[in-house]
Amino acid sequence: MKVEHYSFGLIKLNGQEFRHDVIVYGDFVKKWWRKEGHRVQVEDVEDILRLRPEMVVIGTGYYGVVRVDREVIEKLRDKGIDVICEESRRAVETYNRLLEEGKKVALAIHLTC
């Protein structure tokens, strides 16, 4: 599912607006809660591990405030999942481009900060 729009605090997917962090993969969209709001830990990516995408793009917020633990990147890569972490505006662009290229890509995005 392509991201139709992203701005601070808002993401639009398939005509529906979300004002909370989400994980997106195919037609799957789920609210994304993290143990600590501005930190991504291994337990925060369990849904992604179950989905088994080829790649995951992690949007670290409008200003890039979210930090992704090294263990998260290592765990995903150990499972054969490539990881890209970048500010959410760029993450949306990267995700949409990879989707258009036919990649099996997931997006985990923090909408604010």
Residue reference for tokens 């997931």: 106
Buried b (16+ CB within 10 A) or exposed e, 32-62: bebeeeeebeeebbeebeebebebbbbbbbb
How many CB atoms are located within 10 Å of the residue 80 CB? Answer: 9
What's the confidence (pLDDT) of residue 98? 98
Find the farthest-apart pair of alpha carbons in the chain and give their distance in angstroms, rounded.
35
Q: What is the pLDDT of residues 16-72, one digit of tens each?
A: 999 999 999 999 999 999 999 899 999 999 999 999 999 999 999 999 999 999 999
Looking from the CA of 49 toward its CB, the CA atoms found within 13 Å total: 14
pTM (2 decimals)?
A: 0.96
